[in-house]
Structure 1
Amino acid sequence: MRDTSEASGAPKSLEQRLKAFEGRSAAVAGVGKDPVNGPMIRHWCEAMGDTNPAYLGPDAIAPPTMLQAWTMGGLSGLSGHTGRTGAYDELLALLDEQGCTAVVATDCEQEYVRALRPGDEITFDSVIESVSDRKTTKLGTGYFVTTRMDVRVGEHLAGTHRFRILKYAPAHRPARKPPAGPVTRPRPVVNRDNAGFWDGVRRHRLLIQRCTACASLRFPWLPGCNACGCPDWETIETSGEGTVFSYVVLHHPPFPAFDPPYAVALIELVEGVRMISNVVGVAYDKVRIGQPVRLEFQQYEDELVLPVFRAGGEAA
């Protein structure tokens, strides 16, 4: 059915139809799939490498940045009353009709009001806060859609989460021309926080940081200790021994100076830290988790030196 203006009976413009979604509820009294709980907090902290003691023990709180996690349904979806109104799906369908079939998340903002603790039952309300005017970006032309979610425990607001997407029609891009000259490998971004690491690599030394207060080792290089917060540190040279902790095989997209497929691995050094690098000495489909590897340095073009890891055998 065609949407018309109540005042004149004339069809509403697309902009009017989009703006009409502003302020509409996307979810009312939604219920979190799980209460705040210790195992999810532990998994989050392990993934983030966050060892803050506030997230441990009987008086633990949840990391504030987990705010959205308690409202998500995972692969199996939310069970019970989710409070979805359908307004958000209607908005996206309208944009699909206009050719804005692609979507990318652009940013989020979170405000924390009170700490969440294991056992807290989460409810949430979500509203379509704004739909932008038509915007042209490098990705294409479309609309920024912002939703605001208020997360509560009982009647108490715990935090607010704003999430913004760009729903757009992909821009037409002419076919890429092959490079006219020799293709060089991308250079690492060197700044004041990691310059010492790259200086060591140029000298064929793999250096990691050690906190002078708590002796925690860390990689990648950071300006302060993520275990105790101390800003002072020293360096130690690694032995170069390690194992493949995890890996992926890159098939696409092709990129100048790289020749897919190739393996990119997360290497766990014997010192206990992990770093991302390439595994050499075996075919990409022979890389295995647990495979022993040893550091070596490879030179690319004239001046670029990078640490890589040579496979030393199959996993046990």
Structure 2
Amino acid sequence: MILQHGVKLEQQKTASLRHKIKILPVPEDMTEPKPLAARQGKLDVAGIIAAAEAARIVDEFDGVSLAQKLKRLRRLKPNMIVACCFDEDPCTSSAMATLRENTDAVIAGLVLAARACGAAENKIAVATPREARMIKKINSQADLILAGERYPARVLLKRKLFASGKNAAYIGAQACVALTAAVDENEAQSFTVVTVAGDGVEHWRNMRVRIGTPLKFLLDACGASEKTTFVITGSSVTGKAVTDLSEPVTAATRCVIALRKTPRNKTYPCIGCEKCARACPRGIVPWRVLREIQSGAPDPVRMPNVQKCIGCSACSVACPSGIDLTAVISKAASFKKSGDFD
């Protein structure tokens, strides 16, 4: 049963959700975006997609152009579009904050996206019943669905919907808001909401910043510590380390995590507890794959489903021995594809 899979992550969102989204002043050396040409024609499927393209909207969850996504989904014909308004990362809350403060705009953008794709249904996905009740108080017309708090919730929810006959596709909360602004206000996507968190900053906040703003501006605005030594963008589970804080914020920068100490994970031998297998949403048994790789003469037949890995790192998070099982599965998948083992 797929709902038994996944990893329960400790949630640390309260600090950044305690305050409303803070608007970060635009750096003085950044130029104002050029205004869009007046929208012409009917607001039909082509008109919605054209508005998304003109506004240069990027979905924050995958970094894909929204116009290209809508065109692709038009061909794939999903019967449901889901606005992803939950954050799987323990520290990130930018999607939740966006929904709380822009509920009507999220709903309007989701309706437009569903219309562009030809989807009959649209839903707003939130993590918990408590969050659902909060959104219902803001707008009782919000059509909500629960994603749960088990990582990777996006995958688990999609599998659940598929099992019930729903071929669902996702769109980010901020992409919904940007699509509403593009259609109603003829406004390009030039801002994004980013969560700043970690023990390397004094204030955990959701910041509305101009796309292209250097990361250092966000950290300074949140009281970055002089002892900060390690910065991650993206998820604390699958994010990347940043060495140059002049790196600009993009539409896909959903979280910046500042840490005083570089994470140092100790690794121990596999104990065969099978927690990694229970965590995997794709039916892979990582600990067995690890042992097969360690044998020195791995048999591809003994490594089923490794090519289906989505890189969510749920297995690595679940492993009490601190083994990078994601890398192990990636190596096994490459071996099955090429036949080379080194």
TM-score range, shorter chain: under 0.3
The structure that is helix-richer by fraction is 2
How does the TM-score come out when normalised to structure 1?
0.25
Q: Which has the higher contact order (CA 8 A, sep 6+)?
A: 2
How does the TM-score come out when normalised to structure 2?
0.23
The structure that is strand-richer by fraction is 1
The higher radius of gyration belongs to 1
